[in-house]
Amino acid sequence: MASTSQLLVNSATGRLVVKIEGTGADTTTLDASNAAVNMPEDGTAQLTSMWWTMASGDITITWKGGDKVAAILSGNGSWTQSSGMPAIANNATSPTGDVTIVKGTASAYSCVLEFANYTTS
């Protein structure tokens, strides 16, 4: 089964929450230029929270544009600013704003990712 993506929140304040579920080894791409995603293409978005669960394997989240891995997730867990964890900045060498979420092995999984847009001016 291919993964499914569900946009949970996309507000004018620059917050994007997406839920991704599946049972196979597959890739989901968040295209920054897509009006539904609406993330900045200049690399100013940050990954602020993550919640995940999976039967086995791992999930790799990558900032695109001179690709840089933002996180590798396994098992079950969470990473949130409310629990004192820092946001993960886009450190791609030529950021496009796009993000790929890759499930490396076939097993049931679910993850929720929250991004927030910050300007550096």
Tokens 């897509």 belong to which residue? 34
What pLDDT is recorded for position 5?
Answer: 87
Q: Which domain covers residue 12, as residue numbers? A: 4-117
Per-10-residue mean pLDDT, the chain, length 121: 78 84 92 84 92 95 95 95 90 94 93 79 37
What pLDDT is recorded for position 120?
Answer: 41
Residues 6+ apart with CB under 8 A from 4: 20, 21, 22
Query: Is the pTM of the predicted complex or chain greater than 0.75?
Result: yes
How far apart CA 70 and CA 85 sit, in angstroms, is 14
How many structural domains compose the chain?
1
What pLDDT is recorded for position 59?
Answer: 96
What pLDDT is recorded for position 87?
Answer: 92
List the CATH number of the domain containing 19.
Answer: 2.60.120
What pLDDT is recorded for position 121?
Answer: 37
